[in-house]
Amino acid sequence: MAAMALLPRCAECAAPYPSQTNPFRCPQCGGVFEPEALPAFDPERVEDDAPGLWRYRHWLPSAEGRPPLWLGEGRTPLVPTTVDGLPVWCKLESLNPSGSFKDRGSAILVAWLRERGVSHAVEDSSGNAGASFAAYCAAAGIAATIYVPAHAAGAKLAQIESYGASLVRVAGPREAAAREAGAAAAQGAAYGSHVYLPFGLYGIATLAFELVEALGRAPRAIVLPAGHGTLTTGLWLGFGALLAGQSITRPPRFILAQAEACAPVYQAWSGAGESIALANAASRAEGIMIREPVRLRTMLRAVSSTGGMVTRVSESEIEAGRNLLGRAGISAEPTSAVVVAGLRQAMAAGILGSNDEGEVVVIISGHGLKSS
Ligand SMILES: [Zn+2]
């Protein structure tokens, strides 16, 4: 691995990530590893002839002397539309190779597993991360086993299998699949967790770099779906690096959208009581049905320190958002479509920062073809 400054530390006990093995949690205390001491983003060091997000290699924990693991991720389009008369830019992460933003993380995470000599890796996912992980493992020559909740959508499962990964369906909530993957890891398999392992976050951070390069400044607000918090955390790291390198003067307001059926981030942010249902109800936004978000702390920090907000979106609002995007020619899966209602709620609350400079960006995190 290059760039020692990028190595993560345990968020609880500050132990550095081990130089040899590949634990998914801190072996000392069980804490979550987080990137630390991130270098500043340096526009002078962007390699314009490198593919996709590898043009930001100076900022990524990449293996020296090896070709990048690249399937076409990154450099996704930023297309304009309007929501209730407000001009909005849609960042089409849905057009990454496996159809979701997860590919940015998988490119870096799986390259890192390859560097550690991993030949078989397990992962758990509600669908998109599993499909992405399977694709990059296939490209890296790593055998993959993906644990998925039995209720995950059929299209995503077929996609995972199409990449040659083994699929294990686990009954029960999303967390049950994570427990099974963890049990396999305890028996010696490498757990390539996109949630716990911090390496993919660097890849997701490149989303912030692309936005600022395309717009010439930070957006005034970004609206995104919130589950475990990897998308928020990656963007938070990226805007932090842009701030440190003085490419921007302030981060955008972070506006997070959750499904009403499972809204623990909203609950923590708003101080709401137990009245908010947690995952007992069903939702079409299956990718963000996360009862115990691993990166909750960072999500709350990103929202509170930027004057943003957390919203919760009903099933009918999800459908309305999906229809609005669809009528504009943009195909989003329901998990992604929460951003429309999130945006509307932020407009109604008057916190879009109309006196701020910059544009409003919504992240289209996953393609509509992934769901029926
Ligand atoms: Zn620790």
Distance 177 CA to ligand 1 centre (A): 24
Decide if 270 is inside a domain: yes
The whole-number average pLDDT for the span 182-203 is 90
If you measure from the C-alpha of residue 9 to the centroid of ligand 1, how many angstroms do you get, rounded to a whole number? 8
What separation in Å is there between the alpha carbon of 207 and the centre of ligand 1? 29
Composition of the chain by helix, strand, coil, percent to 5: 40, 15, 40
Ligand 1 centroid vs 141 CA: distance in angstroms? 31
- In the prediction, which pLDDT does 297 show? 92
Distance 326 CA to ligand 1 centre (A): 45
**C-alpha 298 – ligand 1 centre gap (Å):** 17
Residue 67 Cα to ligand 1 midpoint, Å, equals: 33
Mean pLDDT check: name the lowest of 11-15, 150-154, 261-265, 354-358. Answer: 150-154
In a domain, 282, yes or no: yes
CA 197 to centroid of ligand 1, rounded, Å? 13
Neighbours of ion ligand 1 (CB under 5 A): 10, 12-13, 15, 26, 28-29, 31
User: Mapping DSSP to helix (H, G, I), strand (E, B) and coil, where does residue 80 land?
Assistant: strand
Q: What is the pLDDT of residues 45-71, one digit of tens each?
A: 999 999 889 899 888 876 566 778 899
Asked if residue 45 belongs to a domain, the reply is no
CATH, residue 335: 3.40.50.1100
Q: DSSP readout, 86-152?
A: EEEEEEEGGGSTTSBTHHHHHHHHHHHHHHTT-SEEEEE-SSHHHHHHHHHHHHHT-EEEEEEETTS
Question: What's the mean pLDDT in 146-160?
Answer: 86
Residue 243 lies in a domain: yes
Query: 23 C-alpha to center of ligand 1: Å?
Result: 11
What pLDDT is stored for residue 272 in this prediction?
72
Q: Domain tally for the chain?
A: 1
User: Strands, E, within the chain: which ranges?
Assistant: 9-10, 33-34, 78-83, 86-92, 120-124, 143-149, 166-170, 190-191, 221-225, 253-259, 309-313, 360-364
* Higher pLDDT among residues 80 and 279, named by residue: 80
Which pLDDT score, from 0 to 100, does residue 37 have? Answer: 62
- Asked if residue 332 is part of any domain, the answer here is yes
Quote the ligand 1 centre to 36 CA distance (angstroms): 14
In-domain check, residue 12: no
Domain extent, residue 337, equals 78-101+198-370
Say what the pLDDT of residue 35 is: 83
Residue 187 lies in a domain: no
Among 29-43, 56-70, 223-237, 268-282, top mean pLDDT goes to 223-237
Encoded tokens for 178: 């994570």
